[in-house]
Structure 1
Amino acid sequence: MSYNIALNFEDGVTRFIRCNAGETVLDAAYRNRIKLPMDCADGVCGTCKGRCRQGSFELGHDYIDAALTEQERAAGNILTCQMVPSSDCVVDIPAASSLCKTGTTEFGGTLAEINLVSPTAIALNVVADEPIHFLPGQYVNIQVPGSHETRAYSFSSRPGCRELHFLIRNVPSGLMSTWLVRQARIGERLTLSGPMGVFYLRPVVRPVLMLAGGTGLAPFLAMLAQLKVTGCKQPVHLIYGVTHDDDLVGIEALEQCAAELDQFSFKTVVADANSRHPNKGYVTHHMEQATMGQGEVDVYLCGPQPMVDAVLTHFRDQGIEPASFYYERFSPSIAAITEHVA
């Protein structure tokens, strides 16, 4: 028996390791050549302190209160030298990956399919050389063939598979967009590195509101794919906004999720005033189905920077304070995704 442990470093890098039954996270990390912060390994110094975001574990009694107080333990803090997982876990490590002698994992894949699903979006499918583990919502860097440049794209497929799906904005004259549209050939090799990012699905313990803009739908497709596997007892509502009618993509996948997940519902919104779509305007105009009362809702937001900024302003002006608020904004003019968690 062994468990998948996601180590999330403060620079956004995530490394997955296998932890054997009865093994501490610290020992499993060292076995995988990841040098987590540590001075004593005996529960005395507190140097190996982290935080378990999800999963179950046992925390031994061989540590002193100065290393981990009762209040810290109640808040989810752990000592990696004492933490023995009993399920898959996600653990925050308050150190940069480079300081732990590790970094993003590089892996290869084969280009399997390219579809221009709209004038503004490209669906890219890659078959990885081996199953890729990530947290639903995270992203990976893909090297543009023929260059040293990389571009960051969120997975839109569920974790643990070889078949990786991405929904990419088709940027005019963009380096990756140009290569995909004009030069790419099925069967070509790609180099990817990751996973990365702190925008990922947490345990669903209360109603969830998902707000997606454009190709910001991608991480939500990964989250929903995972929920189809794990199940969900809480209401999950997605509002998906685009600029023009032609920008709406992934509707069949959303409809399938709605058919398979009893607690899931979604609404699409088009901003163009000339659209014939029944729901016009912005995502903030169509939140009536969301359970926002008393703040008992977890909000996930992903889209282009103007859309994310507008939603943040709306929430602030309306005094909306969700129980948890996770958001990620991206710009087609930069190579990496800028992330925020509040």
Structure 2
Amino acid sequence: MSARTKKEPPLIRQVVTNNEEISPGVHVISFRRNFDFLPGQVVKIGVDTEHPPRIYSICSGNQEDELRILFNIKDDGFLTPKMAAMIPGDILFVSEPYGSFLGTNDPAWWIATGTGIAPFYAMFRSGNSENKTLIHGVRHLNQFYFEDELEWSLGKNYVRCCSQEESCDVFPGRVSKYLEELDELPDVKFYLCGKALMVVEVRDLLIEKGVDYGNIIAEIYF
């Protein structure tokens, strides 16, 4: 979920078409796409008109028939437990897409933790993955969402970092540790998406390694 903006877009009724738990406590909820969007943009989502909506990155390609949202259940929250319990035919209230965390066709590194992979998966599904390196950091091996598809398509340009479990072809540690151990970094844009602590830590590390501040684009999830 991305940071709020001041403007409050109107919410439109959308009918849930699918709701799949893809990892313990992590869901992908879907509805028909009836608007255009740019990969990397967000929408506001609510389950009624009485409670404030929350902001989520779109997690599907911009030419697909359905629009998908990746979210993890917050046990003490209001929205996500209700979203997790939804079935096809239930109603979501969704804004039009907006936001400036946008993918391009230029070479870049995508760096994400947890469900922060959502906008990069949207960029990938929208055909923006050429000349991209995706680095995804999680705590547990079952949190590499969409990994089969990403590994098949991106190959060596798909880097998985796991801090609490080990497996072959997975870097044993956090994203920051992986980046620290690299001898040099390419002259490309670096897109960061995850919690504020990760974004700040990785941004500072990149700058220390010589990356220009203007080449770092961040989206904070909370």
Q: If the length of structure 2 is used for normalisation, what is the TM-score? A: 0.85
Evaluate the alpha carbon distance shift between residue 106 and residue 291 of structure 1 in structure 2; reply closer, same or farther with a 3 A threshold.
Answer: farther
CA change 1:238–1:196 in 2 (3 A) is: same
Q: Which amino acid aligns with 2:12?
A: F
- Contact 1:302 1:308 (C-alpha < 8 Å) held by counterparts: yes
Deviation at 1:315, TM superposition (A): 1.9
Show the counterpart of 1:70.
none
Residues in 2 aligned to 1:160 and 1:254: alpha-carbon distance in whole angstroms? 18
Query: Paired residue for 2:115?
Result: 215
TM-score, normalising length: structure 1: 0.57
- 1:276 positional shift: 1.9
Mapping for residues 2-21 of structure 1, pairs under 5 Å: none
Is 1:171 paired with 2:63? no
SS at match of 1:198: coil
Counterpart of 1:308? 199
Q: Deviations over 1:98-143 (max 9, x none)?
A: 7xxxx73543321111122112421111124x2x211100100011
SS in 2 for 1:253: helix
Compared CA separation, residues 312 and 281, structure 1 to 2 (3 A): same
Counterpart mapping for 1:117-132 below 5 A: 117-128=22-33, 130=34, 132=35
Partner of 1:284: 176
Instruction: Name the structure 2 match of 1:268.
Output: 160
- CA distance 1:276–1:134, change in 2 (3 Å): same
> Mind listing any 5+ residue stretches in structure 2 that lack a counterpart?
none
Q: Does residue 1:250 correspond to 2:139, yes or no?
A: no
Deviation string for 1:196-245 (max 9, x for gaps)?
Answer: 211111341xx3111011000000011111126xx84xx21100000122
Q: 1:104 to 1:177 in 2, by over 3 A?
A: closer
Q: Distance in 1 between matches of 2:25 and 2:175?
A: 19
- Over the matched positions of the two proteins, sequence identity in percent amounts to 25
**In the alignment, which residue of structure 2 is the partner of 1:149?**
52
Q: Tell me the distance in 1 between the aligned counterparts of 2:207 and 2:154.
A: 30
Letter in 1 for 2:190: V
Amino acid at match of 1:310: E
Give the whole-Å Cα distance in 2 for the aligned partners of 1:163 and 1:306: 32
Matches within 5 A, 1:26-37: none
Post-superposition Cα deviations, 1:129-177, rounded to whole Å, max 9, x if no partner, equal x2x2111001000112374221111111112444001111221222222
Counterparts of residues 294-305 of structure 1 (less than 5 Å): 296-305=187-196
Q: How many matched pairs?
A: 216
Q: Is the 8 A contact 2:49 2:93 kept in 1?
A: no
Are the equivalent residues in 2 in contact too, given 1:291–1:297 (CA < 8 A)? no
Could you tell me how far apart the structure 2 residues matched to 1:253 and 1:147 are? 38
**Aligned-partner Cα distance in 2 for 1:289–1:157:** 31
Q: Secondary structure at 1:140's aligned position in 2?
A: strand
Quote the Cα distance in structure 2 between the aligned partners of 1:290 and 1:322.
19
Higher relative contact order (CA 8 A, sep 6+): 2
